[in-house]
Structure 1
Amino acid sequence: MSSSISSSISRMSRSIPGSPMRPASTSISASRLPIQYVTMVATFQAHPILSESERALRDRFQPIFDEIRDGAIAREQSRELAFESVERLRKAGFLALRIPREHGGSGATLPQLFRLLVALGEADSNLPQILRAHFAFVEGRLNALDDDNRELWYARVVDGALFGAAMAERTAATETTVTLTRSDGDRWTLNGDKYYSTGTIYANWIVAAARDGETRVSLAVPRDRPGVSVVDDWDGFGQRLTGSGTTRFRDVHLDDDHVIRRFEAGQHPSDTYITAFYQTFHLAALAGIANAVLRDSIAFVQAKTRTFGVPGLSEPRHDPLVQRVVGRLSSLAFSANAIVDQVSATMQAVHEARLAGTSVPADYAAADIQAFQGQQIAIGQVLEATTLLFEVGGASAVSESRRLDRHWRNARTLASHNPAIQRERAIGDFYLNDKTPDAAWREAFEKTSTEPATPHTGGQPDVGDVVLAHAAEERDAA
């Protein structure tokens, strides 16, 4: 690992209150533990210690989260898409959390945003993923300091506009095949199909990737344009309500102002933490699942009055073995929450450095590496929690009416995004060979771009192609 990136990680961590990389000589008394490390899993433990602004945000949105939680099992059982929940969040201004206050938003920091997303994920893990592309688009506008139209987008978000994504394609090659062609004057025509269009079925706008000849373009397409159709054909066994299906564009007419930016293939911005941002959405949803597992295990145990092998009435909550299981679940949840806090705080530090004009490439690499490291740990721990949950109960724990299996299915599905084995290899390459994830991506792109594309035969794309496609999706939205 290069000294510049190592020092950047250390610098970013030391600038974050409560960083685990605080110098060892610094002692912190229990009464002065950093906020993010004493506010975990607040819905079923002691009330958290929050800043006034964060308390106001939590008080504003927690009642909505509670309503979403109360309907989660029924939606899961009937596979009812979460339109009502999304609408509640929209009306409450949740979509404008990151919009600066002077433009009508809440001006939330990244740690504040992701803690709210964890709480939302505890209520229903589908919701953070539904909103993932929306907040990535907003984050892109916040960091696009040369974008003359960003105040226009701010206003639309404050008015309730929701953005979905149509980036990935079901092809064997990593190439974008959706086309944007010139029609009359300043009009354009969009044609092609996208898949994994998470959130688009709920959206007003679709952020899409296309090609205009050899040039790549990022587009903002009105969802109600003639020729746009969204199909709910996502058939994953988890995160079933995210609407991550097909989006079709058939002779969709667009104007110049629908083109966000143009760039050459492979020329994606390196001064961005958008990859870490996307990954942290999954980490937040996973942390929310871990919190929900702990919540459900506590409720299940406290209501039980009998134990297998014990005659008569009993109280399993006093059973040391059950206490041990719940203690482990609480620790797994704590770890998942702490990871989200650390990565989001690092991104906040990078964001502030960017706005101040002091950010360097190593800062963005530091954010990516921390997000990748968090992914390696959180996935295993949350999957452990979703299985360990069943050790606190007998056969009644597997009742369809409880749907406790949804926690494992949803966590496993989230864990399958952005393959962890690829990210683990990238971390090792970084530490051993000083190769940042951005540099590795560019090298892989150059290699694949010189090889002939393999025609799609209806089978599954190569895992390496999938990783590159996801990387392109994340960067194109920046």
Structure 2
Amino acid sequence: MSDTTFVNSGELKLVSPLSTALGFSKIIDDIASSAAERELTHRLPYDEIATLKAHGFGALRLPAGLEGQALTLSELLTVARDVAAADSNIAHAFRNHLWQVEAALRRQDHPFHAHVLALTSQKKTVGLSFTETDAPAAGARPSRVLSRLEWDETRQVYLGSGDKVYATGNLYNDAFIGLAVESRAGKTVQYVLARSDGVSSDDDWQGFGQRLTGSGTAKFRAVTVPAAHVYPQDPPRPDEAAPWGYTFHQVYLTNCIAGIARRIALDAVEVLRARKRNFYHGEAEHPAEEPVLQALLGRIRAYAASIEATADRAVGALQRAWDTYGTSDEYAATLAATLAASEAKVVIDDLAPQIASWLIDLGSGSVVSRVGALDRHWRNIKVIASHNPRLYKESLLGQHLLNGRLPPTGAFF
């Protein structure tokens, strides 16, 4: 990425120059200032997400003709990391929408994807109703949520029902997309479903971190889908096309953790400045003058900067893969992006929880109060990192070096 959070003075900034130029600085600052309060009171960020949507965060990749800013993928992830530094819940809640925008930009000549882009240009966000992800048996494939769209001849609309668990962001989304079997022809179709009285999202997510992402159960009860919003499936990609189409998901989550790492470094400065008493066996009168604590602050800064640099490497590889889409270089670039995403996850999932723990070491007993909600950083990192476990990434990376084994192609690697 071209933007750096360290300016010439050495000061660490929450917001990148790019976000400031786009007019997001105050919005992100406001989100950051209220993040601890939301965590403590479990106040869902409806207002904050609505503000980001109104300012076009969900449409940043769209061209100007569609009310977007025509950002590159790397630039989008720069702004998303700023949002994650302010509140990782909010950045995470946008992931599924932003992925749909990526897919639609590649296939915008298809009416389904054109519809997604049209909704996005209206500053709406699109969630998922693709799969019910709690498959009951080991190795079983997840089932479709709205497995069938039944044609209602009287009302001239389709009807469908179903539940989706782990519906991240669906509390805040304006529309939902998915796959279903259309009852009249018996063929699988894609649909776009507007939020209506038949759609509800329960705040029943029980994770110990990322508590405000809207990752509970989304329920669809006799929802209606107009015939005009039901589309044929995408045509299959050519055999020579790169099969690793889901690297965006992993890079986005790793990018969120990089944002948390930045926030930890910023909070560490405030924690040390706010400490009033040093240990009786310390070497300085005030904690901020204590060499041991200054060194720990320096370590936190260095690790946070290294985490961001590692994430930048994966983001750069993903950008190169995007740039080669549909060309003879696509396969190699997309494979490289998937491997870089795996490498970044292995490293960052290890380092980020460490600096979250060092933050507590830096503040000692003065920061363990729930009031500051500093424990959220470790909890949020671990919950994000639990997506697509790094153990399998480590195994794949080793096997790739040894015998050239290729990564899996599914969305959940």
Q: Fold-level match, TM-score > 0.5? A: yes
Aligned residue number for residue 325 of structure 1 = 296
How much identity, in percent, do the aligned residues show? 29
CA separation in 2, counterparts of 1:139 and 1:264?
A: 17
Q: Contact 1:176 / 1:211 at 8 angstroms: preserved in 2?
A: no
TM normalised by structure 2 equals: 0.88
CA separation in 1, counterparts of 2:75 and 2:211?
A: 27
SS of the residue aligned with 2:222?
A: strand
CA separation in 2, counterparts of 1:81 and 1:268?
A: 44
SS of the residue aligned with 1:66?
A: helix
Q: What is the aligned counterpart of 1:353 among 324, 329, 340? A: 324
Q: Could you tell me which amino acid in structure 1 is paired with residue 273 of structure 2?
A: Q
> What whole-Å deviation, never above 9, does each CA across 1:4-54 have from its counterpart, x for those lacking one?
xxxxxxxxxxxxxxxxxxxxxxxxxxxxxx845xx1356994478x99xx6
Determine if the alignment matches structure 1 residue 334 to structure 2 residue 305: yes
Instruction: Give the deviation of 1:209 after TM superposition.
Output: 4.1
Alignment CA distance shift 1:325-1:126 (3 Å): same
Alignment CA distance shift 1:90-1:230 (3 Å): same
Instruction: Give the deviation of 1:187 after TM superposition.
Output: 4.0
Aligned residue number for residue 35 of structure 2 = 72
Segment drifting more, 272-281 vs 80-89 = 272-281
The equivalences for 1:180-259 within 5 A come to 180-184=148-152, 187-211=157-181, 216-224=188-196, 226-259=197-230
Aligned residue number for residue 453 of structure 1 = none
CA separation in 2, counterparts of 1:59 and 1:265?
A: 37
CA separation in 2, counterparts of 1:366 and 1:425?
A: 16
Instruction: Give the deviation of 1:97 after TM superposition.
Output: 0.6
Alignment CA distance shift 1:263-1:386 (3 Å): same
Q: Contact 2:128 / 2:177 at 8 angstroms: preserved in 1?
A: yes
Q: Could you tell me which amino acid in structure 2 is paired with residue 301 of structure 1?
A: L
Q: Gapped runs of 5+ residues in structure 1?
A: 1-33, 442-467, 472-478
Q: Size of the alignment, in residue pairs?
A: 403
Determine if the alignment matches structure 1 residue 175 to structure 2 residue 142: yes
Instruction: Give the deviation of 1:398 after TM superposition.
Output: 0.3
Determine if the alignment matches structure 1 residue 470 to structure 2 residue 412: yes
Aligned residue number for residue 268 of structure 2 = 297
Aligned residue number for residue 356 of structure 2 = 386
Segment drifting more, 269-278 vs 227-236 = 269-278
Q: Contact 2:126 / 2:173 at 8 angstroms: preserved in 1?
A: yes
Instruction: Give the deviation of 1:149 after TM superposition.
Output: 5.2
CA separation in 2, counterparts of 1:257 and 1:426?
A: 43
Segment drifting more, 188-197 vs 62-71 = 188-197
- CA RMSD, 1 decimal: 3.1
Q: Could you tell me which amino acid in structure 2 is paired with residue 87 of structure 1?
A: A
> What whole-Å deviation, never above 9, does each CA across 1:253-288 have from its counterpart, x for those lacking one?
223443455279999996465421111111111011
> What whole-Å deviation, never above 9, does each CA across 1:104-137 have from its counterpart, x for those lacking one?
2011111111111111111111011100011001
CA separation in 2, counterparts of 1:201 and 1:424?
A: 34
Q: Could you tell me which amino acid in structure 2 is paired with residue 40 of structure 1?
A: T
Q: Could you tell me which amino acid in structure 2 is paired with residue 401 of structure 1?
A: V
Alignment CA distance shift 1:153-1:266 (3 Å): closer
Determine if the alignment matches structure 1 residue 40 to structure 2 residue 11: no
CA separation in 2, counterparts of 1:163 and 1:281?
A: 17
Alignment CA distance shift 1:152-1:227 (3 Å): closer
Q: Contact 1:294 / 1:329 at 8 angstroms: preserved in 2?
A: yes
